[in-house]
Amino acid sequence: MLVKFPKARGKFTNKQMLSELTWLRVGGPAEYFFQPADLDDLMSFMSNLPDNISFFPLGVGSNLLVRDGGIKGVVVRLGRGFNSVEVSNGLVVAGAAALDAFVARTAADHGYDLTFLRTIPGSIGGALKMNAGCYGRYISDYFVSANAVNRSGDLVKLDKTDVSFSYRNTALSADLVIVNVTFAPPSGEVEALHEKMRIQKQKRDNEQPTKEVTAGSTFRNPCAFSSLGQENEDNKFKAWKVIEDAGLRGYQMGAAKMHEKHPNFLTNTGGATASELEELGELVRKKVFKNSGIDLKWEIIRVGDP
């Protein structure tokens, strides 16, 4: 079937290998791939996208396991036209393609504390969608509003109720491409904020395999969550611990491994396929359930065709 796609000023291509764009280095092709030049380009493309063509918004792929068969329809990935960060009147407005670390550093330069974002390797679009969090702070803590483009190509404003934050998740529709997010962070002293980030980075490098091919935590921590979308820190039930208790620290199947340094990090040690990684993840879920009765839930988002 010949599909007539809207004209775009940005990059439009087919058969873009997603393994080149995901942290786990796996994933078959995007049937079509679109990187809009700017907001107008995105809105015009979406408004003219044929109804029978699905789309998937991709961030920087740091929380994704894209399956080997790739993703049907159009994968939309925001780039340069969406990575600005503006700070004024106590608000930080970050483009969805801006990297979390850049947003944290820019906010700190202006005396605002979004330091928790410094060591999360994703983009702001992915961080909002996932309600990313670290060191006891979450996107939901500082979120004011977001702008997104819907399937009809309209720009819509989203508030906290629309997003509906939960632990490492939101109720945001898959039909929205987030284009920017506004935060109201607390203020802080510039030097102290940079020092805080330096310490966090060091802590992260000491405790996690940050130089390996992973997508961060594979499973959500199986503990109680507050209504604010935060992990209940009183409950110390951690995914890594129940995986360790099941004897799976460092457990390897082919090139897929649960890392020795942090057993909740599913790792591609070189040349693993998406199906091997997913198979190991499912095996871990089964063994953990058998050992402790805990049903681990994937935090990594699995998408695409096997």
Q: Which residues are catalytic, by number?
A: 168, 217, 299
Q: Which is nearer to ligand FAD, 81 or 89 (CB)?
A: 81
Among 36, 133, 229, 263, binds ligand FAD (CB under 6 A): 133
* Angstrom distance (rounded) from CA 74 to CA 61: 15
Binding mask of the shown chain, residues 158 to 197, with x at each position contacting ligand FAD by CB under 6 A: ----------x-------xxx-------------------
The helix (run of H) or strand (run of E) holding residue 30 is: strand 29-35
Q: Which is nearer to ligand FAD, 35 or 273 (CB)?
A: 35
**Phi and psi angles of residue 239, each rounded to the nearest 5 degrees, phi first:** -60, -45
Q: Which is nearer to ligand FAD, 261 or 287 (CB)?
A: 261
C-alpha separations of 218 from 117, 225, 259 in Å: 19, 18, 11
Q: Which is nearer to ligand FAD, 190 or 199 (CB)?
A: 199
**Phi and psi angles of residue 257, each rounded to the nearest 5 degrees, phi first:** -145, 145
Q: What is the DSSP letter of 187?
A: B
* Angstrom distance (rounded) from CA 77 to CA 36: 8
Amino acid, res. 306? P
280 SS3 class: helix
Q: Is 59 in the site for ligand FAD (CB under 6 A)?
A: yes
Among 65, 127, 248, 272, binds ligand FAD (CB under 6 A): 127
Q: Considering only residues 66-125, where is the footprint of ligand FAD by CB under 6 A?
A: 78, 96, 120-123, 125
Residues interacting with ligand FAD, by CB under 6 A? 23, 56-64, 78, 96, 120-123, 125-127, 129-130, 132-134, 168, 176-178, 210, 214-216, 301
